[in-house]
């Protein structure tokens, strides 16, 4: 039985990843949503489920410092004794404004959700990851988290999101460096046709983000399937073309 945990399973890319893994046989898919009791998330339970597979929902509100541990406690209570794959996908992005005027509360919310929550989740999950024969951690990051590319792309107006994603990348490289058994890497999924992605596309004059959710999920799952410690771990990968993005 392969156990996969996906954060941000309630919408966008995370929702589609959850559906895709449930279509695979013998998979326990753990999806985190902001509040598993909220009726708007119950339709996740209507996804087609392959033989031997099942869905478990847990609650992780991104800014909470206690939800990640509680979610893992709930996972253990459900009889899960290991986790093979974590896709840290949940994220927020505030309105794009220059660093001169960005509200600090937006920076704090971004950092709590996009950086601290994955760190807290890893701390809580580590014993379960250690029990996997080949544990994998994918951080769904963004090209705007590349410090090297700030002057290349002029990312001054995406400061809160960029700072948090740079922090996520640092954390992910730390996982790679400090855990010899773990395959840990960051990915840029492309500008995807989600609510957040389309909003970002419009901010740069595009009508719609260029990458469909289906294309993005196909690339994400292939990247996880093919990831190895030698060739993938510690890298920041552009899923649009497979190239490596500089940190």
**Interval 105-156: pLDDT, tens:** 999 999 999 999 999 999 999 999 999 999 999 999 999 999 999 988 777 7
Distances (CA, A) of 64 to 88, 114, 193: 15, 12, 27
CA–CA dist 124, 119 (Å, integer): 9
Q: Is 41 a catalytic residue?
A: no
**Interval 194-216: pLDDT, tens:** 777 767 667 667 777 777 888 99
Q: Is pLDDT at 88 greater than 70 in this prediction? A: yes
* 8 Å CB contact between 238 and 245: yes
Name residue 198's beta-bridge partners.
none
Q: Which of 165, 231, 235, 247 is catalytic?
A: 165
Q: Is 156 a catalytic residue?
A: no
Over range 184-197, report the average pLDDT.
84
Over range 44-48, report the average pLDDT.
97
Q: Is pLDDT at 43 greater than 90 in this prediction? A: yes
Q: Is pLDDT at 230 greater than 70 in this prediction? A: yes
Nearest Cα residue to 166 out of 189, 148, 191:
148
Domain range 2-238, CATH architecture: 3-Layer(aba) Sandwich (3.40)
What is residue 201's predicted lDDT score, i.e. its pLDDT? 65
Helix axes of 12-22 and 195-203: crossing angle, nearest 10 degrees? 140
With 0.85 as the threshold, say if the pTM is over it.
yes
CA–CA dist 211, 112 (Å, integer): 27
Higher pLDDT residue, 48 or 213?
48
Q: Which of 21, 76, 161, 235 is catalytic?
A: 161
Over range 189-195, report the average pLDDT.
78
């Amino acid at each position: 039985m392969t156990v996969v945990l996906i954060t941000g399973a309630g919408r966008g890319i995370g929702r589609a990843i959850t559906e895709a893994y449930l279509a695979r046989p013998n998979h326990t898919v753990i999806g985190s949503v902001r509040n598993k009791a909220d009726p708007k998330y119950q339709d996740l339970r209507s996804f087609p489920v392959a033989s031997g597979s099942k869905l478990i929902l847990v609650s992780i509100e991104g800014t909470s410092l206690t939800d990640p541990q509680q979610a893992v406690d709930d996972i253990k209570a459900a009889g899960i004794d290991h986790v093979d794959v974590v896709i840290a996908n949940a994220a927020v992005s505030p309105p794009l404004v220059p660093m001169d005027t960005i509200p600090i509360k937006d920076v704090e919310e971004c950092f709590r959700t996009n950086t601290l929550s994955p760190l807290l989740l890893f701390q809580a999950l580590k014993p379960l990851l250690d029990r996997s024969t080949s544990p994998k951690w994918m951080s769904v990051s963004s090209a705007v988290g590349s410090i090297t590319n700030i002057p290349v792309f002029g990312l001054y107006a995406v400061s809160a999101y960029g700072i948090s994603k740079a922090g996520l990348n640092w954390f992910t490289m730390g996982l790679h460096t400090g855990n010899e058994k773990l395959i840990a890497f960051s990915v840029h999924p492309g500008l995807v046709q989600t609510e957040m992605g389309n909003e970002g596309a419009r901010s740069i004059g595009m009508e719609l983000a260029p990458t469909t959710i289906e294309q993005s999920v196909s690339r994400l799952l292939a990247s996880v399937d093919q990831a190895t410690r030698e060739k993938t771990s510690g890298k920041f990968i552009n899923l649009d073309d497979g190239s490596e993005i500089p940190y």
